[in-house]
Every structure is written in structure tokens, then in C-alpha cells.
């Protein structure tokens, strides 16, 4: 190994200092860690560590405040957009973002999400969608795919009985208060880099006071899906992406023509 | 053009052995160690010198355990 290269001037990548030194509580291979890190990298690059306030959800990422070295408030289950609204209105010059999973944003918090988006609050909503309630043991969520097995749908999700997966991102894109809507992933380097650009754009949008920027990150839950992390990533590509296609949906307030 | 040389430094105690980094290495110089860390996970390590310092592995690592150095 070229150990002589280990010098500060040769450094090309290391974990950002806007993450704390705490060990992440997430399972091996969970997309939450990468999602946390790219948000913190964007904050570091924009130099807004002191001007950013995050809102943590309930779910696996409830402990986000332990890992993000910024001001974070933890909200009641699903109420992160409501709390972010209050924070942003009291400190209009701050960058405010919520970080929520699908159980939080698309189930118990649907009303708060829809209304915060409809009011066009100048916040960033980062939505981690893994199609399952990961923290509580892999129960079926509104975003669970058709025929996908979970601990509360052991024979697969039957759409006639359990309804259809909720495409929250497409839903909020139709609201006029929403300025930027995109769906990304963080399981491969190219996806991570694209997702980081999307988050950067979302944070820059909040300074323009143009409305909500909504970034969905399709992620894995290898413990909930009961797969190895690499298998879970492959399963996500094969099954999640056809239903939740990646890419921009709405940019600068206008729908992207596909 | 001079060959780009790179090297990675792994915080082995924090690696959770998820193996997400293994398939993304373009030159296949990382592998799981047969040894385990304090938490009982096999950790990843660099096994050959051909690293180009592309930082793909560090970018996908959920726990951010990889630091990448590259010759300028």
C-alpha cells in the first residue's frame, strides 16, 4: 500500500465534521447513514452549519440529532413539517429541513405533510422511503409494494384488501406550493452524488423563498426485508425502482416532461 | 500521464461489514477481512495496491468509515 500518501494534502474524501463522532445506530448497510452524511456535506459546502435547523422524525432516524452536528428539534410522530413551519416562520433567515421516513411522513403525518406543502412553506423535506416500518419490526407501511411481504402482511400486500402503495412524492408534486420535487437513491456512488446535488438544490431553493423542496430517497431496510445489505440493494433496484422511478418530477415549479 | 495512486484508511472498529462498498470498487482492491472487530463484524480492508483513490467506496459507506488519499 502507498502509505506514504497518507498526508493531509492528499486527502480526497473523509467523513464530514458536520457529522458528530457518535457511532450510527442504524443496521449495517442502511441508507440512513449515507443520507445523513450527504445532507451534512451539503451543509458543510454551503457553510450554513450555524444557520440550519433540522427536524427529526419518529422512526429509526429519531436519533438523527445525535449524529448531525447542527441544531435539531425532534418532533411528535409525523408532525415534523408542522414543527418546521413554526421554526421557519419564527426564524425566516434560517435553513430548515425535516428528515422523515415513510411511516412518519406518509402514514401518521400525511395531513401535516400535505398542508405544509400546500401552504408552500420555505422548507426542505427529505423523505426516506424504504416501504416498511423499519424501527418497530418491519410492519406494512402505506408505501409497501404490492405483494411485498412484511411482518403484518406475511402473504404479501393484497391490494384489494390493503390498498395501493402511496406515491407521496407524485401526490405533493401536484400542489402549487411545492417548488422542487425529486426522487433519488443512495445505494450506489452515482446515485449518492446525484442525491447530494438534489439536496444542495433543495437547500438553495429555500433561500429563494419559493416554496417546499421535497426530496425523496428510496432506501433499503435489509433487516425489515430480511436480506443481506447487498441483496437488499439489488431487490430495491428490481422492485422498488419500477414503482418509484428515480428522477426529477418538478423543477423550479414546473413539471418535468418525461 | 502518471498513474494515479490512492490509498484508503478504514476505521475498522466502526465498520459494520455491510459489504456495500465491495461491488462499487472499479479495480477490486477491497475485500472483507477474515478478522472481526470489537463488535464482531468482519471489516473491509484494502487488499492490493491498485487503488486509484476514486472514493466510490467512501461515498457509499453508510457509516462513513473510509478516508481516501490520492496522489496529486
* Percent share of chain A, pLDDT over 90: 97
* Tens digit of each residue's pLDDT (9 = 90 or more) over A50-95: 999 999 999 999 999 999 999 999 999 999 999 999 999 999 999 9
Task: With cut-offs at 50, 70 and 90, classify the pLDDT of residue A1.
Answer: confident
A7, pLDDT greater than 70: yes
How confident is the model at residue A229, as a pLDDT? 94
> B37 — contact with chain A (CB < 8 Å)?
no
A6, A26, A230 ranked by CB distance to B62: nearest? A26
In words, the CATH class of domain A23-251 is alpha beta
For residue B41, what is the domain's CATH number? Answer: 3.30.70.20
A115, pLDDT greater than 80: yes
Query: Quick one: average pLDDT of A109-135?
Result: 95
Residue B1 located in a structural domain: no
Residue-range definition of the domain harbouring residue B28? 6-70
Long-range contacts at A65-74 (CB < 8 A, ≥ 24 apart): A66/A20, A66/A22, A66/A25, A67/A19, A67/A20, A67/A22, A67/A24, A67/A36, A68/A18, A68/A19, A68/A20, A68/A36, A68/A39, A68/A40, A69/A17, A69/A18, A69/A19, A69/A20, A69/A40, A70/A18, A70/A40, A70/A43
SS3 track for B35-60: EECCCCCEEEEECCCCCCCCCHHHHH
> B63 — contact with chain A (CB < 8 Å)?
yes
How confident is the model at residue B2, as a pLDDT? 58
The complex scores an ipTM of 0.92
Counted domains in chain B: 1
Query: Quick one: average pLDDT of B52-60?
Result: 94
CB contact under 8 A, B69 and A12: yes
Task: With cut-offs at 50, 70 and 90, classify the pLDDT of residue A4.
Answer: confident
How confident is the model at residue B72, as a pLDDT? 76
Instruction: Compute chain A's Rg from CA coordinates.
Output: 18
How confident is the model at residue B1, as a pLDDT? 47
**Cβ atoms of residues A46 and A203 within 8 Å:** yes
CB contact under 8 A, B71 and A11: no
Kindly provide the b/e burial profile for residues A170-195, where b requires at least 16 CB atoms within 10 angstroms of the residue's own CB. ebbbebebbbbbbbbbbbbbebbebb
Q: Please state, in angstroms and as integers, the Cα–Cα distance from residue A123 to each residue in A88, A215, B63, following that order.
A: 7, 11, 27
Residue B17 located in a structural domain: yes
Residue B46 located in a structural domain: yes
Instruction: Provide the β-strand partners of residue A217.
Output: A128, A184
pTM of the model: 0.94
Task: With cut-offs at 50, 70 and 90, classify the pLDDT of residue B3.
Answer: confident
* Tens digit of each residue's pLDDT (9 = 90 or more) over A193-243: 999 999 999 999 999 999 999 999 999 999 999 999 999 999 999 999 999
Mean pLDDT of chain B: 92
Measured between beta carbons, the chain A residues lying within 8 angstroms of B71 are 2, 5, 10
Mean pLDDT of chain A: 94
> B38 — contact with chain A (CB < 8 Å)?
no
Q: For chain A, give every domain's residue range.
A: 23-251
A3, pLDDT greater than 90: no
CB contact under 8 A, B5 and A186: no
* Percent share of chain A, pLDDT over 70: 100
Residue B26 located in a structural domain: yes
A41, pLDDT greater than 50: yes
How confident is the model at residue A258, as a pLDDT? 66
Amino acid at each position: 500500500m502507498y502509505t506514504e500518501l497518507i498526508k493531509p494534502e492528499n486527502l480526497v474524501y473523509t467523513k464530514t465534521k458536520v457529522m458528530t463522532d457518535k457511532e450510527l445506530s442504524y443496521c449495517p448497510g442502511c441508507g440512513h447513514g449515507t443520507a445523513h452524511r450527504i445532507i451534512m456535506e451539503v451543509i458543510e459546502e454551503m457553510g450554513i452549519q450555524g444557520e440550519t435547523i433540522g427536524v427529526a422524525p419518529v422512526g429509526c432516524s429519531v436519533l438523527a440529532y445525535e449524529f448531525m452536528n447542527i441544531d435539531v428539534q425532534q418532533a411528535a410522530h409525523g408532525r415534523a413539517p408542522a414543527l418546521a413551519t413554526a421554526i421557519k416562520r419564527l426564524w425566516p433567515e434560517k435553513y430548515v429541513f425535516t428528515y422523515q421516513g415513510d411511516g412518519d411522513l406518509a402514514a401518521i403525518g400525511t395531513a401535516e405533510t400535505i398542508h405544509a406543502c400546500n401552504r408552500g412553506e420555505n422548507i426542505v423535506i427529505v423523505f426516506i422511503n424504504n416501504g416498511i416500518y423499519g424501527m418497530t419490526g418491519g410492519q406494512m407501511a402505506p408505501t409497501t409494494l404490492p405483494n411485498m411481504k412484511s411482518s403484518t402482511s406475511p402473504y404479501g400486500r393484497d391490494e384489494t384488501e390493503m390498498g395501493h402503495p402511496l406515491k407521496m412524492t407524485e401526490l405533493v408534486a401536484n400542489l402549487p406550493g411545492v417548488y422542487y420535487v425529486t426522487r433519488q437513491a443512495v445505494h450506489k456512488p452515482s446515485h449518492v452524488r446525484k442525491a447530494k446535488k438534489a439536496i444542495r438544490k433543495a437547500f438553495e431553493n429555500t433561500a429563494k423563498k419559493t416554496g417546499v423542496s421535497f426530496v425523496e430517497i428510496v432506501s433499503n431496510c435489509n433487516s425489515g426485508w430480511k436480506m443481506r445489505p447487498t441483496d437488499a440493494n439489488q431487490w430495491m433496484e428490481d422492485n422498488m425502482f419500477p414503482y418509484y422511478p428515480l428522477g426529477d418530477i418538478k423543477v423550479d415549479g414546473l413539471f418535468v416532461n418525461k | 500521464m502518471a498513474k494515479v495512486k490512492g490509498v484508503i484508511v478504514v476505521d475498522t472498529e466502526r465498520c459494520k461489514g455491510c459489504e456495500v462498498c465491495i461491488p462499487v470498487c472499479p479495480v477490486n482492491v477491497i475485500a472483507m477481512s477474515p478478522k472481526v472487530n470489537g463488535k464482531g463484524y468482519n471489516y473491509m480492508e484494502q487488499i492490493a495496491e491498485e487503488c486509484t483513490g476514486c472514493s466510490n467506496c467512501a461515498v457509499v459507506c453508510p457509516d462513513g468509515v473510509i478516508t481516501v488519499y490520492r496522489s496529486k
